[in-house]
Amino acid sequence: MGIVTRGFGGRRPDPGRPLPPGQFLTQDFPVLSAGPTPDVEVDRWELVVTTEHGHVRRWSWGELMATPAEDVVTDIHCVTRWSKHDTRWRGVSVDVLLGDVETTGEFVLVHSYGGYTTNLPLADLLDGQAWIAFEYEGEPLEPVHGGPARLLVPHLYFWKSAKWVRGFEIHDVDEPGFWETYGYHGYGDPWLEQRYA
Amino acid sequence: MSASSQWHVATVVDAPRITRTARAVTLSVPGFSGALAGQHVDLRLTAADGYQAVRSYSLTAVGADERVDVLVDRVPGGEVSTYLVDDLRVGDQMEVRGPLGGYFVWRPDDAGAVLLVAGGSGLAPLLAMLRARRKIGSTAPFRLVYSVRTPDDVFFPDELDGGASDVEVALVFTRTTPARWPRPAARLGKDDLVAPGFDAADGPTVFVCGSTGFVETVAGLVTELGHDPARVRTERFGGA
Amino acid sequence: MATHDPAALDGNALAGQLAFLGSPDVTSLVLRCATCGRTDVVARVRAYVTAMGSVARCVACDAVLVVAVEQPGGTLVAMPGASWVARS
């Protein structure tokens, strides 16, 4: 470590319970955007699931809203070293959305409005580990945080929780997403500190 | 690897508060040299537990090697600016990378007219240009239009006082004006940007610095006034 | 689409991350957008400077021109949307 700046960071709160290695607690919700915030109207919103065979399953906003949603309280961990405890979300489990999709593909490339992509194993979207979230702390999800709907995969670094989610492409092979192309880890487990490839 | 891409150790030698929310910070930085007016530096702060943050700050003065002068205005909730304004002490250390940027720069051998437009702490790099011009005795025509919310928010009012130099300074107050101020408080408009010798037909170089919203607005106004977009140079402030 | 965006800075802001590419000044280099053909100096692109990395986008069409990521092993710079870069 280089030069320490006396007193800098001294106002950060004590996490109270263990954080993943190299993480620091924040009470803010920092915004990290690699591009402009897209203006996504819910009446034109859709989530498109495409399988490795080219089969397509579409969900409209109305269909998403008509699907039973869950309240989720979880910690989130950004690769830029902030973590946030006990964030409250409401969303639809990805298990429900992929329930009737026939696939043997093992990898998903997540697409967003605005062009962002990120990749992760299909298994990490299933078994109660991932949601399409549309409320944060009891309010509709703000556009700057990914509204109207974002992916929430809190057990991985938060760049995998794609804002403005638009679709899942299921593949037999793992294709890198945006940050993964530029050196970030293909999986991104915060407890294993998988920041870079 | 050039010197401007390396991190240099910096020590605070002076940090007076200049408004309710801002401080002028002077750092001693061995190895730092050759800065041009308008350039910026990156400051890197490291906490005792290893956490690091990097922010860019414009230089407010150039010409003295191994010395870095910046102006820090507190951004509400901003972890770096809050620390620098509220907690920093003389003798504290951090790291500096720079000087950086060769585009938003005024060069002393340029004799052409210059229109400077600052919003709030966007004054910083334009102040370096004004100071560099004065230091070398340049006669290049300069005009500064400086938009602030209230009279208390003016940085370095004595230095900017028009009577003290041949640079015309137009203060634009957006919320409260001094007593008997001829212009009512209002957002900066086209009329504020028009002056003999600095109009589009005179072809001045236009430097605009401030928040992103301020810069977008002013860049739009000067384009509508007919200034050549190629002569309009902008720097948007991030912050935090 | 590529209009006012409070999150965006000027390409000037990339000077620190790109400084290692060499002197005199990377932000004065000219880029051509491979998507729409606009040419401009790096200093004038729309820059998204984040703690993950910096993304420079075309002011005309929002295409990603440059990505710079500082990693423990060094800085990576990609130019996925630039057809060329020139010194003017």
Q: Where are the domains of chain C?
A: 9-87
C19 and B102: CB-CB below 8 Å? no
Number of domains in chain A: 1
Are A4 and B7 a contacting pair at CB < 8 A?
no
B50 touches chain A (CB under 8 A): yes
Two structure tokens written together for A128: 């109660």
pLDDT band, very low/low/confident/very high, at B1 (cuts 50, 70, 90): very low
Which one has a higher pLDDT value, B174 or C5?
B174
Is residue B136 domain-shared with residue B64, that is, in the same domain?
Answer: no
What CATH number has the domain bearing residue B40?
2.40.30.10
Indicate whether B92 pLDDT > 90: yes
Shortest Cα–Cα distance, C58 to chain A (Å): 11
Residue from the list C13, C16, C41 with its beta carbon closest to the beta carbon of B238: C13
Whole-angstrom Cα distance, residue A76 to residue B235?
34
Identify the domain boundary among B100, B123, B145. Answer: B100
Supply the range of the domain harboring residue B201: 114-237
Least Cα separation, residue B187 to chain C (angstroms): 18
Interface of B with C in 180-199 (CB under 8 A): none
Question: What pLDDT, on a 0 to 100 scale, did the predictor assign at position A28?
Answer: 84
Report if residue B53 sits inside a domain: yes
Rounded to two decimals, the ipTM of the complex is: 0.89
Does residue B5 sit at the C interface (CB-CB below 8 Å)? yes
On whether residue A29 sits in a domain, the answer given is no
Instruction: Find the CB nearest B47 among A8, A22, A28.
Output: A8
Task: Return the pLDDT at A132.
Answer: 98
Considering chain B, what percentage of its residues have pLDDT values greater than 90? 84
A10 Cβ under 8 Å from any chain B Cβ? yes
pLDDT at C2 over 50: no
Q: Identify whether residues B122 and B84 lie together within a single domain.
A: no
In which band, very low, low, confident or very high, does the pLDDT at C3 lie, cut at 50, 70 and 90?
Answer: very low
C14 — pLDDT class (breaks 50, 70, 90): confident
Subunits that touch chain B (at least 3 Cβ pairs < 8 angstroms)? A, C
Q: Do residues B172 and B151 touch, judged by C-beta distance below 8 A?
A: no
Query: Are the beta carbons of C83 and C33 closer than 8 angstroms?
Result: yes
Give residue C73's pLDDT band: very low, low, confident or very high (50, 70, 90).
confident
CB C21 within 8 A of CB C29: no
The chains in contact with chain A, meaning 3 or more Cβ pairs closer than 8 Å, are B, C
Band (pLDDT 50/70/90 cuts) for residue C1 is very low
Q: What is the DSSP letter of B153?
A: G
Identify which has the larger pLDDT, B84 or B4. B84
Distance CA A25, CA A13 (A): 7
Q: How many CB atoms lie within 10 A of CB A13?
A: 10
Domain ends where: B100, B126, B142? B100
Pick C69's closest partner by Cβ from A33, A35, A182. Answer: A182
**Nearest residue of A to residue B48, measured between CA atoms:** A4
Q: What is the CATH number of the domain that holds A70?
A: 3.90.420.10
Calpha distance B155→B169 (Å, rounded): 13
Give the pair of three-digit tokens for residue A85.
């405890």
Neighbours of B182 (CB within 10 A): 5
Q: Is residue A60 part of a domain?
A: yes
CB-CB neighbours of C33 under 10 Å: 22
Q: How many domains does chain B have?
A: 2
Q: Residue C23 — very low, low, confident or very high, per pLDDT cuts 50/70/90?
A: low
Q: How far is A130 from chain B (nearest CA, A)?
A: 29
What pLDDT does residue C8 have? 82
B148 and B191: one domain? yes
Is B33 an 8 Å CB contact of chain C? Answer: no
Q: In whole angstroms, what is the distance from residue B76 CA to residue B85 CA?
A: 11
Q: What is the dihedral of CA C1, C42, B81, B107, to 10 degrees?
A: -130
One domain for residues B131 and B228: yes
* CB B240, CB B79: distance < 8 Å: yes
CB contact under 8 Å between B4 and C6, yes or no, is no
Q: What percent of chain C has pLDDT over 70?
A: 90
Is B108 a domain residue?
A: no
- Substitution target from C5, C52, C59 for chain A, most A beta carbons within 10 A: C52
- All chains having 3 or more CB pairs closer than 8 angstroms to chain C: A, B
| Cβ pair C7:A31 closer than 8 A | yes
Question: Are residues B134 and B233 both part of a single domain?
Answer: yes
- Contact assessment for residue A141 and residue A148, using Cβ atoms and an 8 Å cutoff: yes
Q: How many CA atoms lie within 13 A of A197 on its CB side?
A: 12
Which of B100, B124, B145 corresponds to the end of one domain?
Answer: B100
Per DSSP bridges, beta strands B52-61 and B67-73 are antiparallel
Residue B106 falls inside a structural domain:
no
The CA distance from C80 to the nearest CA of chain B, in Å, is 22
Whether A172 is covered by a domain: the verdict is yes
- Surface of A (141-170) touching C: CB under 8 A: 144, 159
**Which pLDDT belongs to residue A11?**
64
Question: In chain B, what residues touch A10 (CB-CB under 8 Å)?
Answer: 47-48, 87
The answer, for B56 touching chain C at a CB cutoff of 8 Å, is yes
In degrees and rounded to multiples of 5, residue B233 shows phi and psi of -115, 130
One digit per residue, the tens of pLDDT, for chain A of length 197 reads 579 999 998 667 777 888 999 999 888 888 888 898 999 999 999 999 999 999 999 999 999 999 999 999 999 999 999 999 999 999 999 999 999 899 999 999 999 999 999 999 999 999 999 999 999 999 999 999 999 999 999 999 999 999 999 999 999 999 999 999 999 999 999 999 999 99
CB–CB of A35 and C72 under 8 A?
no
Q: Are strands A131-136 and A56-60 parallel, antiparallel or unpaired?
A: unpaired
Task: Give residue A32's region: left, alpha or beta (phi > 0; psi -120 to 50).
Answer: beta
In this prediction, residue B166 carries a pLDDT of 85
- Percent of residues, chain B, with pLDDT higher than 70: 97
Q: How confident is the model at residue C5 (pLDDT cuts 50, 70, 90)?
A: low
CA distance A141 to A145: 7
pTM: 0.84
Residue A104 lies in domain: 51-192
User: Does A37 touch chain C if contact means CB atoms closer than 8 Å?
Assistant: yes
Greater confidence (B48 vs B186) lies with B186
Is residue A101 situated within a structural domain? yes
So what's the pLDDT on residue A33? 86
C-alpha atoms less than 13 angstroms from C-alpha of C39 in its C-beta half-sphere: 10
Task: Looking at mean pLDDT, say which of A144-153, B154-163, C69-78 comes out highest.
Answer: A144-153
CB-based contact (8 Å) between C51 and chain A? yes
B105 located within any domain: no
Average pLDDT over residues B33-45: 95
CA distance A113 to A92: 19
Q: Which residue on chain C is closest to A36 by alpha carbon?
A: C5
